Amino acid sequence: MLAPYTTLGLGGPARAYEEATTAEELVSLVAEADRRGEPTLILGGGSNLVVSDEGFDGLVVKVATRGVTVSRDGGQVVVEAEAGEDWDPLVARAVAEGWSGLECMSGIPGLVGSTPIQNVGAYGQEVAHTVRCVRVFDRRTREVADVEARRCGFSYRDSAFKRDLGRYVVLGVTFALDVSETSGPLTYQELVNRVGERAALGEVREAVLGLRRGKGMVLDPADPDSRSAGSFFTNPIVSAEQAAALGDGSPRFDMPDGSVKVPAAWLIEQAGFPKGYTRGPVRISTKHTLALTNPHGRGTTADLIALAREVRDGVLAKFGVTLVNEPVMVGCAL
């Protein structure tokens, strides 16, 4: 069963399962499965994954590679991390060592290899700001390549890897971080309200962890709200005209191209889905409207998808805005 490998605790069986402890082994397992024509699912930390109740009829390859290499390049530290490294311990090390650029992404679950695919970000930082290159196995060309940041196609919660999902297997990520005990300028108002526009890295990390815990976004066996895939919907980016139609009370963030980002959580709440809204054994988090949870472990993926569709359709009916799921769907869809 794949359920134990996901933070939602949902998902049926896999036909076959292998664990890759080196990049070479990861490439070999995927390449051999491709030669056999066998469907393959690359499994990281399972924190951004929704697997169907039927499971996966193919080979699941668990990424368990380890290793971090550090070097200096002028005023920066270059950190090369294997895809199977846990993300938050890497952030904690960066903060402890005085490497600035990852601190606002403290507490995000999952593995390093997943971060460039989703262009993971929080509280004003994205990995796109510090990624120097991403090492991948290209399943189409069957070659290992280093993709420079400018070729990664990063945008809000998106990348070239996500847009061609399944083609690339991330083997490792290289970050370029500033040597500084203090954060860069902080822009996310909720965080600025706690620590100011600049703060010591450790202070920023603790503030972010506190904010995330308050939203059930730090994995904690004692917190049923943390049994989720994080934010289930991305914040929609709409035209200025669409944003104006939402009314003067709607929060919004102007984008450089003239479009407007609207908080999905606000749309969900205004459409009649408050925190704690329940559908059978699953519910919207009691702490954060964007998280759909399986709080007691008794739900099914079908239950979760039904709740997600209800929320999506309700927002569409009220505002004419279609919410898009953030987690990767395996064997299921909204």
Residues catalogued as catalytic: 157, 231, 326
Distance CA 152, CA 99 (A): 23
For residue 253 the two structure tokens come to: 């963030």
For residue 40 the two structure tokens come to: 């393959």
Q: 329, 11 in Cβ contact below 8 A?
A: no
Distance CA 12, CA 51 (A): 7
**CA contacts within 13 A on the Cβ side of 41:** 26
Distance CA 123, CA 125 (A): 6
Radius of gyration of the chain (CA): 20
Burial of 150 from C-beta contacts in 10 A (0-12 / 13-18 / 19+): exposed
Query: Please, which residues bridge with residue 70 across strands?
Result: 79
Q: 107, 125 in Cβ contact below 8 A?
A: no
Distance CA 163, CA 134 (A): 15
Give the neighbor-by-neighbor strand order of the sheet with 237-238. 237-238, 260-261, 253-254
H or E element at residue 173: strand 168-179
